[in-house]
Structure 1
Amino acid sequence: MPTVIEHAVQARLVASAPQMESVPATLRYDRRDPFAVQMAFPPPATLEGNEVSWAFSRELLAAGIDAPTGVGDVRVRPYGFDRTVVEFHAPEGVAMVHVRTSELRRFLRRVNLMVPVGHEHRYLDLDHNLAELLRDAC
């Protein structure tokens, strides 16, 4: 059984200009980090020309489809009937993208089939994580 899910989506970059630019993005889930999802943007879609990846809670993504949620670097909220806004806050500024809600739901269904909500603890490798934490302690 695969341990990683990748799901390509088109995100609409919200800018100060009246027209929104469509950019590719990839949603990623790795069951070795069962509480998190990632959203990655390729180099042409970023200001610096480097791939940028944001990791945040899968619970945040799921909750934000139906109601505004998040107070930190990543915030998610519904927008209209078929869009969800994902906001990324950084020292350089705020990037906002619109993603089709149906694509986010499809991704989360696949994630939930791999690791059901409430069963994430079964996929944590606590021995490995503890060893990584203590590796440089000596």
Structure 2
Amino acid sequence: MPAATVEDHAWGRIVTDAPQYRPVRVAMSYEPDEDPKAVRFDFPSGMGWTFPRELLESGLRAPARSGDVEVWPCGRVQAVVEFHSADGVSVVQFDTTVLRSFLRHTYAAAATAPKTT
């Protein structure tokens, strides 16, 4: 029996040089049958990044980077996820409660996944 896929949606804020931010809806997914150690963030533009789930968790406590993705806490209730691509850098700010909730869902799905030997 395949493990449950997790797909949560969250509003983030694209951070720019302008005094205002742009809200963006982000699809956060976890597919334990594909890669039990990775999560994916997809944007309406069609861009998406897959990165270690552990990076997201670590980055909520202290700055952390893996490949093209960097995560760090921003104050007490927000976190920043920075995505690097050939086109430049996208900086998106999230409420940490949303990211923690997503992580809880991924760990619950992983706990119910069948063990492979």
Please, what TM-score do these two structures have when normalized by structure 1?
A: 0.76
The number of residues matched between the two structures is 115
Larger radius of gyration: 1
Quote the Cα distance in structure 1 between the aligned partners of 2:75 and 2:61: 11
* Structure of higher RCO (CA pairs closer than 8 Å, 6+ residues apart): 2
In the aligned structure 2, how far is the partner of 1:87 from the partner of 1:123?
34
* Matching of residue 37 in structure 1 with residue 25 in structure 2: no
Q: Which runs of 4+ in 1 moved over 2 A?
A: none
Q: Tell me, what secondary structure is at the counterpart of 2:63? A: coil
Q: Whose strand proportion is higher, 1 or 2?
A: 2
Tell me which protein shows more helix as a share of its residues.
1
- Paired-residue identity, %: 38
Structure-2 residue corresponding to 1:97: 92
Alignment RMSD, CA only?
A: 2.2
Distance (Å, rounded) in 2 between the aligned partners of 1:75 and 1:90: 12
Distance, in Å, in 2 between the alignment partners of 1:86 and 1:6 is 18
Query: TM-score w.r.t. structure 2 length?
Result: 0.89
| Letter matched to residue 82 of structure 2 | E
| Long gaps (5+) in structure 2 | none
Q: Please name the residue that 1:4 is paired with.
A: 5
2:105 to 80, 103, 110: 110
